[in-house]
């Protein structure tokens, strides 16, 4: 028997690289996929996600636009009307706001307005969330605004592999997708072989990131690693926490979430976005409606405070961390159990 | 020597002598709106074109009066009339070839109809049985756009995409004077010029944004002058002169088609009716002003020319009028029929695949409808 020294097929890759690879593969596979945004060309985007795309596909496929978010998304609408599949990069969460009217009044409802005749397959990539020491207007968690808009899918990866798989699926979707990229995970690494066949993840399915029996942490995007860390720390307290990574806020996977909470009987929703009017309120209500008789305690929320995003030197007090999550878990009425 | 210079990483070049990127002079609009009717140039206008424009304008006027009447009969939820602006509406439609795209605002259903769409389909939005009553791709007409100027970047993107594909397509986008204050107007014109997209922007300056006159909207010399700042030509036209409109839009479309890039056309016209049937124009403008514009009516201007040249005989007049009446009678009859509504349609087109949440909500509505229909079946006087 001969053994061939196997070349290492996997090596650490960052989420930013996986996202870039997803764009590249989508563009190579489908000539109607066009990338447009600010600084996406020679610079490769401020987070380097689009690095090399203009070189490989030309300026017509990966286009540096004038600096105007409504114009970028508005022209993307017209491009999609003509049969292209635009992928728009918004430079930062808070810089996406000028494009809100286009997103809400046109992108989200064109399929409905035209009775299905003219869906808009547009992917809007938005780096979001804090924890990177960004100054004002660089750290917003804007997902609740998008979630409240019927017609949009709202997707957010938490792992390198999901970044690839979900972005591929989003670009392939015939519906518009707001693709929220947790910017503090851009440089998170995982073993990943870009040459191997990749999974294209279905949009709308949550996954159990860590199985557990005591309580469920329901979370997404940048808070997933924090919850996994909290779950490890919780073992010392005797709690075996399950972590559900939603991956898609719209459509919302009631099935996976409710099944988990029915198993564990307790739930905490964790996100950076503010609590009041935030995603956690909707999620807590959905869980309560579906799992009321299985619940040992009220569904709790660990969220960012209801304040404008703090300056970088104070953001650590705002972001949900391991301690705040464990404090919430401690309040899940364990004493009543025995 | 600075650190940067030592490293040789960055050597600033001396600032170049400043010069404009584009010579602004050829981009400037005329000082006065361009006119053909009532000038010597009118004699050169093709009689066939004059007769065609006349018939279209008469038909357009009748369409406007019929649609307004339908609001009074409760058959339209609202109608923003283009009475007085028919020359702009008709010229916009006639300037385009079949493969070209029209991007109308909510006041431009006449342009949509003049392009050949069934008036009942054009009026779906304003009747209220759905938002868009036609397949935009089939007719190359974008949905009637209500949020002001937001359709302009769509026109730019579509024209840009067509050009990337190597297709011969021009987009003509319509907006009002009020819409030129919106950010999307600015962004669309800027993108169009940077990309040299085959787009024509038609601003119908009808004097008012609901109640607010142009003087409170802009301090620009004219709306057409705005083009210069973007590096595209601006044309100022008498929007009630159908021949001038036809000529200027035709030139702008041809220029776009030949790769010459976008043009901004300002058509100076007047909104003869209130903003919509729900508006009261007497609160913000004088009857005398409206009366003065009646003497500059687009149909009147064309009639004068046709009469002077002996082109408007009784037969031409009668045929135009009969054609308009036939259209109006058909529209009236069909709009007097109740549209078929299916409440379950509310859930059908939100996503390609219905979410589980929408499936649940659809089931709820279906159950409510069943209860309502069972209750309606119970004979009067009986209780359940």
Residue of A nearest to B164 (CA): A60
Would you kindly state where each structural domain of chain B is located, as residue ranges?
Answer: 25-335, 345-377
* Superfamily for the B25-335 domain: Thiamin diphosphate (ThDP)-binding fold, Pyr/PP domains (3.40.50.970)
Banded pLDDT at A2 (limits 50, 70, 90): very low
Question: Does some domain include residue A60?
Answer: yes
Q: What is the pLDDT of residue B48?
A: 95
Q: Kindly state the tokens that stand for B355.
A: 């979410």
Mutate to test the interface with A, among B131, B150, B157, B159 (most CBs of A within 10 A): B157
Q: Are residues A286 and A188 in the same domain?
A: no
Residue B101 to chain A, least CA–CA distance (Å):
10
Note the pLDDT of residue A52: 97
8 Å CB contact of A115 and B132: yes
A178 and A295 fall within a common domain: no
* Helix, strand, coil shares, percent, chain B, to 5: 50, 10, 40
Mean pLDDT, residues A141-169: 97
Give the domain range for residue A230.
Answer: 207-330
Residue B360: what pLDDT?
96
pLDDT score of A9 more than 80: no
Q: What is the pLDDT of residues A170-219, one digit of tens each?
A: 999 999 999 999 999 999 999 888 777 778 889 999 999 999 999 999 99
Instruction: Say whether residue A106 is in contact with chain B using an 8 A CB cutoff.
Output: yes
Question: In this model, does residue A89 exceed pLDDT 60?
Answer: yes
B190–chain A Cβ distance below 8 A for any pair:
yes
Q: Do A82 and B165 touch (CB under 8 A)?
A: yes
User: Among A164, A192, A220, which residue terminates a domain?
Assistant: A192
State whether A113 and B135 contact (CB < 8 Å).
Answer: no
The predicted structure's pLDDT at residue A191: 87
- Say yes or no: B150 contacts chain A, CB-CB below 8 A: yes
In chain B, what residues touch A100 (CB-CB under 8 Å)?
Answer: none
- Clarify whether residues A106 and A212 are in a common domain: no
**A102-143 pLDDT tens trace:** 999 999 999 999 999 999 999 999 999 999 999 999 999 999
Is 90 exceeded by the pLDDT of residue A71?
yes
CA distance A225 to A220: 9
Strands (E), chain A: 11-14, 33-37, 62-64, 85-89, 123-128, 153-155, 177-182, 189-192, 207-210, 215-219, 241-245, 248-250, 267-274, 300-304
Give the pLDDT confidence of A22-60 residue by residue, as tens digits: 999 999 999 999 999 999 999 999 999 999 999 999 999
Written as one string, the DSSP assignment of B234-264 is: EEEEETT-HHHHHHHHHHHHHHHHTT---EE
| B131:A119 CB<8 A | no
Q: Which residue has the higher pLDDT, B82 or A7?
A: B82
Our CA-based measurement puts residue A232 at a distance from the nearest CA of chain B, in whole angstroms, of 33
Tally of domains in chain A: 2
The predicted complex's ipTM stands at: 0.94
Q: What is the CATH number of the domain that holds A28?
A: 3.40.50.970
Name the average pLDDT for chain A: 95
pTM: 0.94
Assigned domain for A165 exists: yes
pLDDT of residue A309: 97
CB contact under 8 A, B153 and A111: no
Which 265-324 residues of chain A touch chain B by CB within 8 A? none
pLDDT in tens, A286-302: 999 999 999 999 999 99
Here the tokens at position B101 are 């795209």
Residue A273 lies in a domain: yes
Q: Cβ distance B194 to B166 under 8 Å?
A: no
A138 counts as catalytic: yes
Q: The CATH number of the domain where A291 resides is what?
A: 3.40.50.920
Q: What is the pLDDT of residues B67-111, one digit of tens each?
A: 999 999 999 999 999 999 999 999 999 999 999 999 999 999 999
Confidence (pLDDT) at B2: 52
Active site residue ranges of B: 271, 275, 284
Question: For residue B266, what are the β-bridge partners?
Answer: B203, B236
Question: Which residues of chain B, if any, have pLDDT below 70?
Answer: 1-14, 379-384
Cβ–Cβ contact B165 with A under 8 A? yes
Report the alpha-carbon distance of residue B315 to residue B176 in Å, rounded.
36
Residue A156, classed as helix, strand or coil, is coil
Out of A143, A160, A192, pick the residue that ends a domain.
Answer: A192
Would residue A199 count as lying in a domain?
no
Sequential DSSP letters for A292-332: GGG-SS--EEEEE-SSSPPPGGGHHHHS--HHHHHHHHHTS
Chain A interface test: which of B154, B173, B198 (most A C-beta within 10 Å): B154
- pLDDT of A1 reads 44
Q: Are residues A188 and A219 in the same domain?
A: no
Residues A163 and A98 in one domain: yes
Question: What are the C-alpha distances in Å from A137 to residues A96, A128, A185, A276, B45?
Answer: 10, 10, 18, 20, 59
Shortest CB distance from A75 goes to which of B160, B162, B183? B160
User: Chain B contacts of A175, Cβ < 8 Å?
Assistant: 351-352
**Does residue A96 fall inside a structural domain?**
yes
């Amino acid at each position: 028997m001969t053994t061939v020294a196997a070349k290492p097929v996997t090596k650490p890759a960052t989420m930013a690289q996986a996202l870039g690879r997803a764009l590249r593969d989508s563009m190579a596979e489908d000539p109607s996929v066009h990338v447009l945004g600010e600084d996406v060309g020679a610079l490769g985007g401020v987070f380097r996600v689009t690095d090399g795309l203009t070189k490989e596909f030309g300026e017509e496929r990966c286009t540096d636009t004038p600096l105007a978010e409504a114009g970028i998304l508005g022209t993307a609408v017209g491009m999609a009307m003509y049969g292209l599949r635009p992928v728009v990069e918004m430079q930062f969460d808070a810089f996406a706001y000028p494009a809100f009217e286009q997103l809400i009044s046109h992108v989200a409802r064109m399929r409905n307005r035209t009775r299905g005749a003219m869906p808009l397959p547009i992917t809007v990539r938005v780096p979001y969330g804090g924890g990177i020491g960004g100054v004002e207007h660089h750290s917003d968690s804007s997902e609740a605004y998008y979630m409240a808009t019927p017609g949009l899918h709202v997707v957010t990866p938490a792992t390198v592999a999901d970044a690839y798989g979900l972005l591929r699926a989003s670009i392939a979707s015939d519906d518009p997708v707001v693709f929220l990229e947790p910017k503090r995970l851009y440089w998170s690494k995982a073993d990943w072989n870009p040459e191997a066949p990749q999974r294209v993840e279905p949009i709308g399915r949550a996954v159990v990131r860590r199985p557990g029996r005591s309580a469920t942490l329901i979370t997404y995007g940048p808070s997933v690693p924090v919850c996994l860390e909290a779950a490890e720390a919780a073992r010392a307290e005797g709690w075996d926490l399950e972590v559900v990574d939603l991956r898609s806020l719209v459509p919302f996977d009631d099935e996976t979430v409710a099944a988990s909470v029915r198993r564990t009987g307790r739930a905490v929703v964790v996100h950076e976005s503010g609590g009041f009017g935030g995603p956690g309120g909707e999620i807590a209500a959905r869980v309560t409606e579906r799992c009321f008789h299985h619940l040992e305690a009220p569904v709790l929320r660990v969220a960012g405070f209801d304040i404008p995003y703090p300056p970088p030197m104070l953001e650590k007090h705002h972001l949900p961390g391991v301690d705040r999550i464990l404090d919430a878990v401690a309040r899940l009425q364990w004493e009543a159990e025995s | 020597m600075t650190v940067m210079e030592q490293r040789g990483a960055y050597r600033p070049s001396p600032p170049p002598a400043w010069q404009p990127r584009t010579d602004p002079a050829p981009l400037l609009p005329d000082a006065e709106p361009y006119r053909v009717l009532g000038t010597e140039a009118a004699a050169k206008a093709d009689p066939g074109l004059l007769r065609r424009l006349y018939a279209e304008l008469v038909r357009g006027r009748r369409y406007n009066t019929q649609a307004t009447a339908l609001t009074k009969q409760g058959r339209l939820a609202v109608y923003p009339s283009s009475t007085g602006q028919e020359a702009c509406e008709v010229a916009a439609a006639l300037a385009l070839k079949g493969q070209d795209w029209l991007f109308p605002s909510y006041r431009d259903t006449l342009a949509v109809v003049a392009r050949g769409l069934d008036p009942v389909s054009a009026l779906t939005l304003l009747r209220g049985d759905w938002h868009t009553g036609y397949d935009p791709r089939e007719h190359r007409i974008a949905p009637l756009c209500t949020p002001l100027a937001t359709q302009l970047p769509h026109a730019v993107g579509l024209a840009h995409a067509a050009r990337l594909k190597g297709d011969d397509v021009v987009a003509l986008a319509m907006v009002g004077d009020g819409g030129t204050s919106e950010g999307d107007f600015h962004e669309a014109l800027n993108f169009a010029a940077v990309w040299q997209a085959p787009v024509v922007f038609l601003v119908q300056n009808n004097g008012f944004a609901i109640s607010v006159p142009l003087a409170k909207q802009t301090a620009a010399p004219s709306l057409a002058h705005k083009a210069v700042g973007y590096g595209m030509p601006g044309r100022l036209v008498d929007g009630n002169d159908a021949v001038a409109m036809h000529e200027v839009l035709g030139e702008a479309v041809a220029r776009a088609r030949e790769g010459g890039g976008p043009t901004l056309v300002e058509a100076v016209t007047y909104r003869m009716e209130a903003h919509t049937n729900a508006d009261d124009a007497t609160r913000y403008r004088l009857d005398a002003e409206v009366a003065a514009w009646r003497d500059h009516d687009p149909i009147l201007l064309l009639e004068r020319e046709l009469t002077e040249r002996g082109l408007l005989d009784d037969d031409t007049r009668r045929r135009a009028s009969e054609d308009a009446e036939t259209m109006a009678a058909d529209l009236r009859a069909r709009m007097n029929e109740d549209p078929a509504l299916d409440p379950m349609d509310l859930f059908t087109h939100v996503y390609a695949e219905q979410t589980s949440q929408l499936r649940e909500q659809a089931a709820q509505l279906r159950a409510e409808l069943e209860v309502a229909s069972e209750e309606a079946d119970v004979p009067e006087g009986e209780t359940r």
